[in-house]
Structure 1
Amino acid sequence: MFFHTQKLINPIAADEPDPAAANILQEGLGGQFGEMRTMMQYLFQSFNARGDAKPFKDLIQGVGIEEISHVELITTTINLLLDGSSRYQGKNAKTKAKGAAAKKAPKEPGAGGTTPLDEAPFAPNTHHFIVAPQCALPVDAAGNPWSGSYVYASGNLVLDLMYNLMLESTGRLQKCRIYEMSDNKTLRSTVAFLIARDHAHELAFAKALESLGVNWGKVLPIPNFDASQYPEVKKLMDLGIHLKQHHFRLDGSEMGKIFQGNSPVNDGTEVETEEEAPEGAPIEDLPERPEEFAPGLTPELLEMVEAVKRYK
């Protein structure tokens, strides 16, 4: 069984709406090496595990459960980068209004008879406005739908662990590239967190393989560079979140039999399995967007919703 706490696993910094940044981040959600892939791959591997290798199954499943919260985090971040962009007239707006006309541009979509979603045709992915109400989609940055064929769950423990290390390493590589594509604080706060957590997951799967005889030497992490050069990542690494992993279990876990002791990076640091769950951060409801007909409630329907909320 899975349980949900209505909190984000990491807070998201506030900044301007930016549909271009949102579309870049779609790769980290629905791309071949994105969070939807890691979530589904590790969960299927744990569901399909055979034999008695509980510490390894617990490790794979614990990381997989955390990935559910990463899908929630990155989806929410994309939503915040898109939400309100149809009325936005700031530095990233692609509105046709120029100069003095731009200063007079309406703040509300459709005000004064203007076209309500005239920003949408300039967005990298118009489906964010047509198919979704200024929200994330299960696609990559090129608009390709996420595919279940990405999932690798062979049933061979060593192969699965090797594939998982490759997946985390590639995901971290791509997130470092995404970080360098935008200075938007909303994007960077989430990408920085995911860079640090991908580091931890690299170490988790590397530690599992190390316990089966692999010697990593100086190979890890991948990409092998000092990620603390990114200020947002440095703050998280100073807290040590790249060396810790919670097991996300209410009934006990044997993950700690693997994820403990010297880091496979061989830099003198140590990794640890945490018993205490992440504290989390509040999730704010997205506002209504009349120009998207979302949620599209008439006064009569809204009254019914309010009646349901009053139920005891």
Structure 2
Amino acid sequence: MYLHVQRLINEIEQDEPDPAAANALQEGLGGQFGEMRTMMQYLFQSINFRGPDAKPYRDLIQGIGTEEISHVELIGTTISRLLDGSPRYQGKKTDPVDAPGAGGAIPLNIALDHSNIHHYLVGAQGALPVDAAGNPWMGSYVYNSGNLVLDLLYNLMLESTGRLQKCRLYEMTDNKMARSTISYLIVRDQAHENAYARALETLGVNWNAALPIPKTNAESFPEVKRLIDMGLQSKQYSFDLDAQSEAGKIFQGMSPSKDGTKLNATEQAPDGAPLTISPERFEEFSPGADKDLQELIAATAAMEMADIDATFGRLG
């Protein structure tokens, strides 16, 4: 089972909306080497895993795949916030349109030349399961050979390519919202590189000679350096409520990154950051729940709570 904690895995810094940055970030979400790809690839590999004696490897892949679900949530939320209105917006949340729409101006004219128009036509200023060119994410991206060494090698290549692309994304924008998420994902990609590299080493695979990781010098980015100084590149979480994960049997010892740190798999999950719901976008004709619908939701919730109380007794 998977349980959801209503917190983001990392805090998104505040900054002005930036539709161009949002469109670039779509590659990191729905591109061939994006977060949707890693999430689905690792989950399918763990679901299809065979061989009880190799459980530590299954647990390692599954733990990383579970973390990737939170990365999809993080980068998707970042894209949505980057699209939240026009950079010129100075109006109130209750305004029927953004300030640029005052006096007969077109409120969504920014969609025509600053971004992916589908973010406005289809997504109501939200993330989409596409790459930066608007191509839809495809299940054929997923690699699951059934051979442990091949899968681990491919996963290492996937994380390495993803980190390389995110370093390029970092250089494409100076928006603090975008960079806070990009930097976090760069460092966590390195942690996952370390995980798959160590797993290959335990199987006798000389991965460094066969698959050298591109040197990105990402530690030169101040946001990345802060996270590396915290050792985030050398941690792997289990996301396991029952403490049955054996991934720590693999994710231990000195880091394959050769940065002098030790691998640590003792934490269940990071603390995370508050998750807030974005305000309505009236110019997108997506105002949320109207009064009648809110009353229906409240009545339905009351009925469900009454059923729970009758079955289990009053809670709290």
Shared topology, TM-score over 0.5?
yes
Give the root-mean-square deviation of aligned CA atoms: 2.0
For the residue of structure 2 that corresponds to 1:176, the secondary structure is: helix
The unaligned stretches of length 5 or more in structure 2 are: 90-96, 306-316
Give the equivalent residue in structure 2 for 1:96: none
Contact 1:165-1:206 within 8 A present in 2 as well? yes
For the residue of structure 2 that corresponds to 1:262, the secondary structure is: coil
Deviations 1:13-61 (A, max 9, x none): 0011000000000000000000000000000000001112100000000
Q: Distance in 1 between matches of 2:286 and 2:298?
A: 17
Pairwise CA distance, 1:117: 1.6
Number of residue pairs aligned between Structure 1 and Structure 2: 295
Give the equivalent residue in structure 2 for 1:119: 110
C-alpha change, 1:218 and 1:117, in structure 2 (3 Å) is same
Pairwise CA distance, 1:293: 1.4
Letter in 2 for 1:89: R
Pairwise CA distance, 1:214: 2.2
Give the equivalent residue in structure 2 for 1:198: 189
Task: Confirm or deny that 1:224 pairs with 2:215.
Answer: yes
Give the equivalent residue in structure 2 for 1:65: 66
For the residue of structure 2 that corresponds to 1:119, the secondary structure is: helix
Give the equivalent residue in structure 1 for 2:310: none
Question: Which of 211-220 and 196-205 deviates more?
Answer: 211-220
Give the equivalent residue in structure 1 for 2:26: 26
TM-score, normalised to structure 1, is: 0.89
TM-score, normalised to structure 2, is: 0.88
Task: Confirm or deny that 1:139 pairs with 2:139.
Answer: no
Give the equivalent residue in structure 2 for 1:272: 264
Deviations 1:252-298 (A, max 9, x none): 21000000001123343221112342101001111011111114544
Pairwise CA distance, 1:224: 1.9
Q: How does 1:228-239 map to 2 (within 5 A)?
A: 228-239=219-230
Pairwise CA distance, 1:107: 4.3
Contact 1:220-1:264 within 8 A present in 2 as well? no
Question: Which of 12-21 and 108-117 deviates more?
Answer: 108-117
Letter in 2 for 1:229: S
Contact 2:20-2:115 within 8 A present in 1 as well? yes
Pairwise CA distance, 1:223: 2.4
Question: Which of 42-51 and 269-278 deviates more?
Answer: 269-278
For the residue of structure 2 that corresponds to 1:194, the secondary structure is: helix
Give the equivalent residue in structure 1 for 2:308: none
Letter in 1 for 2:276: E
Pairwise CA distance, 1:225: 4.1
Pairwise CA distance, 1:113: 3.3
C-alpha change, 1:16 and 1:55, in structure 2 (3 Å) is same
The unaligned stretches of length 5 or more in structure 1 are: 91-105
Match of 1:148 among 115, 124, 139: 139
Give the equivalent residue in structure 2 for 1:98: none
Deviations 1:229-249 (A, max 9, x none): 100001100100000101111
Q: Distance in 2 between matches of 1:266 and 1:292?
A: 50
Letter in 1 for 2:230: L
Q: Distance in 2 between matches of 1:142 and 1:224?
A: 26
Q: Distance in 2 between matches of 1:78 and 1:116?
A: 19
Match of 1:263 among 255, 261, 282: 255
